[in-house]
Structure 1
Amino acid sequence: MATTSYTSSAGTFMFHARPTVFEHPITYNLPSTNNSTTTTTNKLEKNDFSQYYITLEARTTIHKSAKGPISVAECEPQGKYIIVENTSRSKSIALSGWTLQQENDNGELLTYSFPENCLLRSNQSIKILSKSNETERRNGDLIASLLSSWHTSSNVVTKLINADGKVKHKHSTFNQC
């Protein structure tokens, strides 16, 4: 299997040959430079990338930091729900007065306040669905009735704030191409 590289002022690009059984080749019109090389089986040509494919990979990085047993376990990428969990082995936590705040990379802030008498038992979790996903509600799930969706942008920071206004958990999601 041949590998081809193209070097320009923007950097070096690697192209890997792939079988064309389920894929179609992409033709590239790249500028010819003295330091670009193409190596294929049985021939050497400048900038002939017609039988090569570029694979783009998106990477999602999640950072979590918690102060105590209550944390954000999951932020569903399509904005359907957020799951909050209690990792304590023996202590139930009253979430009355707690809030979830979610901010996207445009600075837009979504806020959800937990209802009165909301108790999260030890080793349990609770799902907070957006209003548009209310039909997926199961026993014990909560509905964020003022939010049609949680944030779905590439960079989202979700904070769990206790009744005293202290951030108890921060969940950051960063998507990179």
Structure 2
Amino acid sequence: MQSRTIIPNSNGRTRLVPVEQDHWDSGEVQTRSSFKRHAKGNVSIVECDPQGKYIILENTSGSVAEDVSNFEIRRVIDGVQAFVFRLPSHLVIQQHGHLKIYGRNAGEINLTPDSIVMESHASWGQGRQAETFLYNSHGIEKASHILIDRFLQLLHPSSN
């Protein structure tokens, strides 16, 4: 398909220039997610739901229960700090145990002794890049989880 575009000259005049264009009339979008995790110590962030429904912490130690009282989880969405959530007092993750932390509006929540609800926020938030950091009660970073979504748009040219 060919169209014309008006191009201004340096002397102030304009001219019509033919421009070749492809016509795209259908396509699909694919999402590919990748993540990076890092931990200093026995507690790690093993999963962050892409829709922001929950986060799962894990104690990788087979011999020591980990007290995570007053630890902070900081969430950064697309480069902007969304919020900070402080874990409640007297919270312990048992050996090889997990702690699932739901957002308030996560939908069907299966509360078990190893899960809590973050009442202060509806969800953990979502975006193209979701960064989650775990800090101990002294403000030292103990773990991180970075989830990156890449959108690939596949377009199909029309048969015109």
Please indicate the TM-score interval, normalised by the length of the shorter structure: 0.7 to 0.9
**1:27-73 per-position Cα deviation (integer Å, ceiling 9, x unaligned):** xxx936xxxxxxxxxxxxxx7988xx755432211011111110111
* SS of corresponding position for 1:63: strand
**2:55 is the counterpart of 1:66:** no
- Looking at structure 2, the residues matched to 170 and 100 of structure 1 have their Cα atoms a distance apart, in angstroms, of 9
Partner of 2:131: 157
Residue segments in structure 1 that go unaligned for 5+ positions in a row: 1-29, 33-46
**Does structure 1 retain, via aligned residues, the 8 Å contact 2:74–2:81?**
no
Name the structure 2 match of 1:175.
149
More strand by share: 2
Q: 2:103 aligns with which of 110, 124, 130?
A: 130
1:98 aligns with 2:71: yes
How many Å separate the matches in 2 of 1:79 and 1:71?
18
Kept in 2, the 8 Å contact 1:129–1:137? The answer is no
* Residue 79 (structure 1) aligned to one of 38, 52, 55: 52
TM-score (norm 2): 0.74
Contact 1:84 1:127 survives alignment (8 Å):
yes
Shift of the alpha carbon at 1:176?
A: 1.1
Take 1:48 and 1:153, find their aligned partners in 2: how far apart are those partners? 30
Cα separation, 2, equivalents of 1:56 and 1:79 = 21
Matches within 5 A, 1:12-23: none
2:20 is aligned to: 31
Is contact 1:96-1:116 (8 Å) kept? yes
- 1:45-60 counterparts in 2 under 5 A? 54-60=27-33
TM-score (norm 1): 0.67
1:129-171 C-alpha deviation (Å, 9 max, x unpaired):
1111375142221111100111111111000111111111110
Please tell me the residue identity of whatever aligns with 2:147. T
Tell me the C-alpha RMSD between the 2 structures.
Answer: 2.2
Q: Percent identity?
A: 24
Bigger RCO of structures 1 and 2 (CA < 8 A, at least 6 apart): 2
Q: Which residue of 2 aligns with 1:115?
A: 88
- Aligned partner letter, 1:110: F
Tell me which amino acid in the other structure corresponds to 1:164: H
Tell me, what secondary structure is at the counterpart of 1:109? strand
Counterparts in 2 of 1:151 and 1:31: CA distance versus 1, 3 Å: same
The 2-side partners of 1:119 and 1:69 are apart by 12
